[in-house]
Structure 1
Amino acid sequence: MPEGDTVWNTARVLDRLVGQTLTAGEFRVPRLAGADVADWTVTESSSRGKHLLLRLSDRDGAPWTLHSHLRMDGAWRVYKPGERWAGRPAHLIRVVLRAERAVAVGYHLHELDLVPAAREHTLVEHLGPDLLGPDWDADEAVRRIEARPDRQIADALLDQRNLAGIGNLYKSETLFLRGVNPWRTVAEIGDLRRMVVLAQKLLASNRGRWNQATTGSLRRGEQQWVFERAGSPCRRCGTTIRRAKQGDHDRITYWCPRCQPGAESPEGRERPTLAKD
């Protein structure tokens, strides 16, 4: 699933539309099939956690928001007029926005909504502080996480209501770098603030590039510590990296049993060993 930095980067791609007046718009989802955005002006491209917000002004100057969520497989591509659309198969196209100097094509988008700007907040007000946004507040993120002390820390980091932007990659990498077993509970974590601050730094370090790295190396195969490295040796201690499903939605977690001591899996009987913070 695209994480906060990828969505932020996508918003920057859509910046190519900002300031332009749309010559045509085509929506290939039933509830928006009749929407007409021709002669509307694109005023801003923004992200909020994993949500994309393209702000528009209609023919009368009234503000609107085109909201989309990429989920696992959504994407936006921007082409020059007349350029071949090569991003994804045509049957996955959900929206096309045409302007004089650019054409934006949205593939396999989810939660696609076109709403008056006054209603934009209803689409994102459930989100916690955005790790890449002006509202980022580490203390508020900690307060929200601590509201459920018995929750496993990996699930708490993924909950967008606590802090917006973390997905499986940054969850696994943050926990590894802090030496925290993914199945420890929130109450067992000694310094939550250091953890969320680290997560924010990791996301921020990847703004402006598509090659996500947490190790400091951009070389292929060297970018992550544990994410998608199950069966490979830990870069620190050589122990085999493990993977297991975790949480209500069976999201995959990666960890090093030696660097992050504790339960081996959701069914593990061993209580997580407390790391020194």
Structure 2
Amino acid sequence: MPEGDTVHLTAKRLRAALAGNELVRGELRHPRLVGHDLAGRTVLDVASVGKHLLTRFDDGRSLHSHLRLDGSWHLYRPGMPWQRPAHQARAVLETAERTAVGFLLHDLELLPTTEEDRLVGHLGPDLLDPAWNDDHAAEALRRFTARGESELGLVLLEQRVMAGVGNLYKTEVCFLLGLSPWTLVRDVPDPAAAITLSRDLLLRNADRPQQSTTGELARGRQHWVYERGGQRCRRCGTRIRTGKQGEGVYARATWWCPTCQPGPTRPH
């Protein structure tokens, strides 16, 4: 599932391409929305809230989309061939100069803009909210520390605590904090640092497709432990370990250095 910075960048690109322009084509091909035609509507804005995208129109409605595991939005010039099959397209928003195509969007809903909170109001503070301030940080900290009996790695992924962290940043935040992903939140020495670090990493990558936590952009040098199972830790040389964290549909792969990240390990 994409990280919050990927969704933020998607919103930024869609906003630049569509905002302020009238749609000459506005097809919604999702089974629940067939028959809705957005042609003639003007796009007012495209915003991201955590991992959710909201495209707002001048008739007081918003198109909500969530990329899930395999969804994406592509931008083309009108008439250009699409890079994915047409049968995968769930939304086509076209202006005189740009065409935005949403592929494999499993979650797609058209709703009054005034009711957006119905879909995103449950989320914790958005780590990439441009209006982020001390109140947002305090609320994220309150929600984070309230999960004291839960594992750090799982709480970082919980969008109801703070919105935007995915598996990549969960893994890297745990490494940079020097804590095992299975550390209980109550045992995290500086909970505020976990929130600050999560936000800093997302901000660092918010305006580019590359996601680096090491400060390097070269292939194979971008991450400390994420997807580096069996390789040597960049700090201590210990081999990075891989395991699963979470249960059922919430289980995610995680990577950690047993030397740099002391503490509880994967339950057997």
Q: TM class, shorter-chain normalised?
A: over 0.9
2:100 aligned with 1:101, yes or no?
A: no
Report the Cα offset of residue 72 of structure 1.
1.0
Distance in 1 (CA, whole Å) between partners of 2:114 and 2:159 is: 22
Task: Determine helix, strand or coil for the equivalent of 2:193.
Answer: helix
Report the Cα offset of residue 134 of structure 1.
3.4
Q: Which residue of 1 aligns with 2:77?
A: 80
Letter in 2 for 1:146: T
Report the Cα offset of residue 191 of structure 1.
0.6
Distance in 2 (CA, whole Å) between partners of 1:204 and 1:91 is: 35
Q: Which residue of 1 aligns with 2:166?
A: 167
Letter in 2 for 1:37: L
Report the Cα offset of residue 66 of structure 1.
0.5
Report the Cα offset of residue 85 of structure 1.
1.0
Report the Cα offset of residue 198 of structure 1.
0.7
2:61 aligned with 1:64, yes or no?
A: yes
Q: Which residue of 2 aligns with 1:265?
A: 266
Contact conserved, 1:150 with 1:186, CA < 8 A, in 2?
A: yes
TM-score calculated relative to the size of structure 1: 0.92
Distance in 2 (CA, whole Å) between partners of 1:57 and 1:64 is: 7
Alignment of 1:7-26 (within 5 A): 7-15=7-15, 16-26=17-27
Distance in 1 (CA, whole Å) between partners of 2:131 and 2:111 is: 22
Deviates most, 213-222 or 248-257: 248-257
Report the Cα offset of residue 35 of structure 1.
0.6
2:119 aligned with 1:114, yes or no?
A: no
Superimposed CA distance per residue, residues 101-132 of structure 1 (whole angstroms, 9 cap, x where no aligned partner): 11110011132011011111111000000000
Distance in 1 (CA, whole Å) between partners of 2:200 and 2:241 is: 25
Letter in 2 for 1:79: Y
Distance in 1 (CA, whole Å) between partners of 2:215 and 2:176 is: 13
Contact conserved, 1:129 with 1:135, CA < 8 A, in 2?
A: no
CA RMSD of aligned residues (A): 1.0
Distance in 2 (CA, whole Å) between partners of 1:126 and 1:177 is: 28
Distance in 1 (CA, whole Å) between partners of 2:218 and 2:6 is: 18
Letter in 2 for 1:216: G
Distance in 2 (CA, whole Å) between partners of 1:124 and 1:135 is: 16
TM-score calculated relative to the size of structure 2: 0.95
Superimposed CA distance per residue, residues 209-249 of structure 1 (whole angstroms, 9 cap, x where no aligned partner): 00100000000000000000011100000111111111131
Distance in 2 (CA, whole Å) between partners of 1:191 and 1:84 is: 51
Superimposed CA distance per residue, residues 6-30 of structure 1 (whole angstroms, 9 cap, x where no aligned partner): 0000001102011110112111111
Distance in 2 (CA, whole Å) between partners of 1:239 and 1:256 is: 7
2:122 aligned with 1:126, yes or no?
A: yes
Report the Cα offset of residue 266 of structure 1.
2.3
Distance in 2 (CA, whole Å) between partners of 1:180 and 1:142 is: 18
Task: Determine helix, strand or coil for the equivalent of 1:30.
Answer: coil
Alignment of 1:183-222 (within 5 A): 183-222=182-221
2:38 aligned with 1:41, yes or no?
A: no
Q: Which residue of 2 aligns with 1:224?
A: 223
Distance in 2 (CA, whole Å) between partners of 1:99 and 1:242 is: 49
Unaligned runs of 5+ in 2: none
Letter in 2 for 1:100: A
Superimposed CA distance per residue, residues 128-160 of structure 1 (whole angstroms, 9 cap, x where no aligned partner): 000000353222111101112110011111000
Distance in 2 (CA, whole Å) between partners of 1:72 and 1:209 is: 20
Deviates most, 17-26 or 160-169: 17-26
Q: Which residue of 2 aligns with 1:271?
A: none
Deviates most, 150-159 or 24-33: 24-33
Distance in 1 (CA, whole Å) between partners of 2:27 and 2:77 is: 17
Percentage of pairs with the same residue: 52
Unaligned runs of 5+ in 1: 268-277
Query: How many pairs does the alignment contain?
Result: 262
Superimposed CA distance per residue, residues 67-116 of structure 1 (whole angstroms, 9 cap, x where no aligned partner): 10001111001111111111x22221111112111111001113201101
Distance in 2 (CA, whole Å) between partners of 1:82 and 1:43 is: 24
Distance in 2 (CA, whole Å) between partners of 1:251 and 1:150 is: 19
